Amino acid sequence: MAPTPVSYPKPYEAVVLDIEGTTTPITFVHQVLFPYILEHAQFFLETHWDDSTCQNYLAGLAKQNTEDIQQGLTDIPTIVNLTDPAIPKAKKIKTVVANIRYQMQQDRKIKALKDFQGYMWKDGYYSGDLKATVYEDVIDALRTWHERGVPVYIYSSGSVPAQKLLFGYSDHGDLTHYLHGYYDTSVGSKLAPESYQVIAGNIGREPANVLFVSDNPKEIQAAEATGMQVVISLRPGNALIADDVLQRYLTITSFASLL
């Protein structure tokens, strides 16, 4: 069944955007960003191990690993004691890489993993190995909203630093001047209405005056529960959405429909 015909949302004062499947193709995330971590983690850790910044992110992964085991996740690879000088660095790296691979295979949305991924992606963007893909119609919309004085914010499960890198090193150049703020899961789960309430309060808008765009129906439902205006993004490669959901919500295939 085809999605409902697009109709314009009510007037809105601010826009909150998801990234994956909304502003950026899912293929970029799953075929470029994630493989970059899996392919380069071993070498990256070998060359950055002694950096204090790297050690801070590793401490976060180790802390999360301890909590996971305490909560009964017995199948998760254990990270050895990273501060024990008696354990060879090679073994420490091996256990960290195994843990990262497992978590990514499970598609976990936890802060420690997302923070480390962002740290690695920073190196990739700076070196030129990574360049983010952003839809052409998104660029036009960002420019138009900017000209109209409508602030645009990002809310993604990826860390805020990773979000800034994606829009700072896009295939259309630096887009960060079009964005007024960034939110990740430190404000709460993207599936929890409370998270959207927090964002609305933070940007100083009533939820009814905020437009949220995402490809994920569960996120759409959570935002709608707060009173936000919501639109589902339909992009090539996105997960199929049930017909009853398509009939219930406004859907777009281009941001041009929102302007």
Residues 254 and 146 in one domain: yes
**Span 110-165, pLDDT tens digits:** 999 999 999 999 999 999 999 999 999 999 999 999 999 999 999 999 899 999 99
Proportion of the chain above pLDDT 70, given as a percent: 97
**Span 30-79, pLDDT tens digits:** 999 999 999 999 999 999 999 999 999 999 999 999 999 999 988 999 99
> Residue 10's pLDDT band (boundaries 50, 70, 90)?
confident
Q: Is 215 flagged in the annotation as binding?
A: yes
Residues 95 and 142 in one domain: no
Residues 246 and 138 in one domain: yes
> Residue 109's pLDDT band (boundaries 50, 70, 90)?
confident
Q: Is 157 flagged in the annotation as binding?
A: yes
> Residue 1's pLDDT band (boundaries 50, 70, 90)?
very low
Residues 71 and 147 in one domain: no
pLDDT given at position 5: 46
Residues 159 and 232 in one domain: yes
Q: Is 257 flagged in the annotation as binding?
A: no
Residues 100 and 37 in one domain: yes
pLDDT given at position 6: 47
What CATH number is associated with residue 52? 1.10.720.60
Does residue 4 register a pLDDT over 90?
no
What do you get for the CA distance between the two ends of the chain, in Å? Answer: 26
Residues 90 and 110 in one domain: yes
Structure tokens given for 12: 């809105």
Q: Domain count of the chain? A: 2
Structure tokens given for 172: 């259309």
- Do the domain assignments include residue 215? yes
Residues 225 and 117 in one domain: no
Q: What integer is the mean pLDDT of 12-41?
A: 96
Does residue 28 register a pLDDT over 80?
yes
Q: Could you tell me the residue range of the domain that residue 239 belongs to?
A: 14-24+132-258
**Span 160-218, pLDDT tens digits:** 999 999 999 999 999 999 999 999 999 999 999 999 999 999 999 999 999 999 999 99
Give 109-146 as a 3 state SS string: CCHHHHHHHHHHHHHHHHHCCCCECCCHHHHHHHHHHH
pLDDT given at position 227: 95
pLDDT given at position 7: 55
- Do the domain assignments include residue 9? no
Handedness of CA 203, 207, 209, 213 (dihedral sign): positive
Domain's final residue, options 127, 149, 167? 127
Residues 123 and 227 in one domain: no
- Do the domain assignments include residue 5? no
In degrees and rounded to multiples of 5, residue 108 shows phi and psi of: -75, 140
Q: Is 18 flagged in the annotation as binding?
A: yes
Q: Is 20 flagged in the annotation as binding?
A: yes
Q: How many CB atoms lie within 10 A of CB 163?
A: 21
- Do the domain assignments include residue 53? yes
- Do the domain assignments include residue 198? yes
- Do the domain assignments include residue 46? yes
Domain's final residue, options 127, 155, 175? 127
pLDDT given at position 74: 83
**Are the CB atoms for 203 and 17 separated by under 8 Å?**
no
pLDDT given at position 253: 95
Residues 146 and 251 in one domain: yes
Domain's final residue, options 100, 127, 154? 127
Q: Is 127 flagged in the annotation as binding?
A: no
What CATH number is associated with residue 194? 3.40.50.1000
Residue (of 217, 167, 210, 187) closest to 3 by Cα position? 217
Residues 93 and 216 in one domain: no
pLDDT given at position 209: 96
Residues 153 and 198 in one domain: yes
**Span 70-88, pLDDT tens digits:** 999 889 999 999 999 999 9
d(CA 18, CA 216): 9
- Do the domain assignments include residue 4? no
